[in-house]
A and B are shown apart, each in its own frame.
Chain A
Amino acid sequence: MADLLPEHPDFLWRNPDPKSSYDAVIVGGGGHGLATAYYLAKNHGMTNIAVLERGWLAGGNMARNTTIIRSNYLWDESAAMYEHSLKLWEILPEELEYDFLFSQRGVMNLAHTLGDVRESVRRVNANKLNGIDAEWISPEQVKELCPIINIGDDIRYPVMGATYQPRAGIAKHDHVAWAFARKCDEMGVDIIQNCEVNGFVMDGDRVVGVETSRGRINAGKVGLCGAGHSSVLAELAGFRLPIQSHPLQALVSELHEPVHPTVVMSNHVHVYVSQAHKGELVMGAGVDAYNGYGQRGAFHVIEDQMAAAVELFPIFARAHVLRTWGGIVDVTLDASPIVSKTPVDQMYVNCGWGTGGFKGTPGAGYAFAHTIANDEPHPLNEPFALERFETGVLIDEHGAAAVAH
């Protein structure tokens, strides 16, 4: 006879039915929505709030990303935002009382051409001026930090050096979401899954509630954290966003002994690789070219990254692709996020983090919560307003930030 199943482990949050009204609702239960709710409750005393998620918690990009965390962006505005976020990452495991395997194992961004080298050195210097740990390292130092990498000059794009940020690293993304969710719940935030927002209730120019698959919910304020679905939400609210949604894929190998001690990213041959705690090699690269909401992409994109990975790491030739998947990323034309007020009174939007918003999760939540609570941006996200597309004060992190993840 089969053994009885063990008891279900403790649930990390309640699953309440929605109340008829909240001081604020956050649309989207990914990392950014949860972090926003957390900081609204913790920093601004707003606990009569709800996070509304159409599917299950972190079923979007939050638990699909390759978990790279770093702050070595070129421009001052980005450096400030991402470095603030990294500093929050450094204290969050303790603050959230949850060991989500944040591992500061360093991130390398490889240079393969003279142009790469110049851009990388420039970025290292910019980072240093912004107080961010950054070094330019030689191919030999690359090899010392990551012995499995091929630094020979017999490959199409030899490694000419790398930028290195020692405080960068990875974390276990689903646990990060659960850690935020548990703390939110403890502070009284309602986390409501299977609740799709399909309309907004307006009083003139002002939002006063949301229509959902579980009925109408009144709300004093509404924060949009819909990532790949941001355009769809904005359209429901009657405004447009300068966003294009694309499929972005990633993959893992089977489990291996630890062979890869850091994180290696290459913009030029386009692949990035780390090894998860469990042992899988985790890899990803660029978006599929076309607009897509399908949470899947094409296999030739995977093949290209594998070719790059095997050239850089010959040892991977014997590994196998175990699983591939895709998310929907919300891309802006300057590759920087939008954390902003909107044309609708009391409605706010956090989106456009595209292929690289996991690292920004705590920083986005921190700044966005401030924006919602005060109806005014925090100095960190002031430059990331929607208006920049009209004023032309873009924050162009294309290429400049090595690769956008």
Chain B
Amino acid sequence: MAEGQKTIEIEVLRYHPENDTEPHAQVFEIPFTDDMSVLQGVQYIKDHLDGSLSFRWSCRMAICGSCGMMINGVPSLSCQTFLRDYYPARVRVEALAHFPIERDLVVNMEGFIEKLESIQPYIIPREARTLSEGEYLQTPEQLGAYEQFSSCINCLLCYAACPQFGLNSRFVGPAALALLHRYNADSRDGGKAERMELVNSEDGVFNCTAVGYCSEVCPKHVDPANAVNQNKTNSAIDYFLRFLAPKGGAR
């Protein structure tokens, strides 16, 4: 390191399943410039200090959703979080909370992928149309009903912010329920009854206790807490009125 170069310490929670019985902290000192993201910090470690450090990243511009980490205990996109906001103090990075650690900063997201599949994240057409009938038209209001919930980048910060998911990993959780709502609220979609089975189930929305931190940490302003809680209302209405208007749904 050059003389007079400013440095900053990064404390990383390491875990290598082949050697370690449990995770442990390791501190690295790296050169600091005030345009460096936390992601660049851990990249410096991997490139110059310890090539065995594992973490995920791709776009470096807060859109791919792969670089989520706990930074000083807060779920954050590491490419969007800057070391200068902590300098000269030490910065602590750890794999996203509430997920099993696969290796170092990499979490196991198999459970989430299964949930993503279970919500049927695609439009199930309300009415079949042939190509010659043209496109499905939507008004700005109809678009507005779901647009915000379609901005999710699957970064999982909201799951790392959700204690109810941490306490019960079967809970479908914020992002998957927000995406589920995105399709249910789409005027072109007709799959609501099928998806409501999951919403109404014991793994569904009623695991949520309206902590609200998920929406706080979401980098895309999806407000997953709102999607979850709107569906508590939807689910409760269906629960009490299903005997009046029998039309499917979970038993």
A, B: real partners: no
A interface list, Cβ under 8 A from B: none
B interface list, Cβ under 8 A from A: none
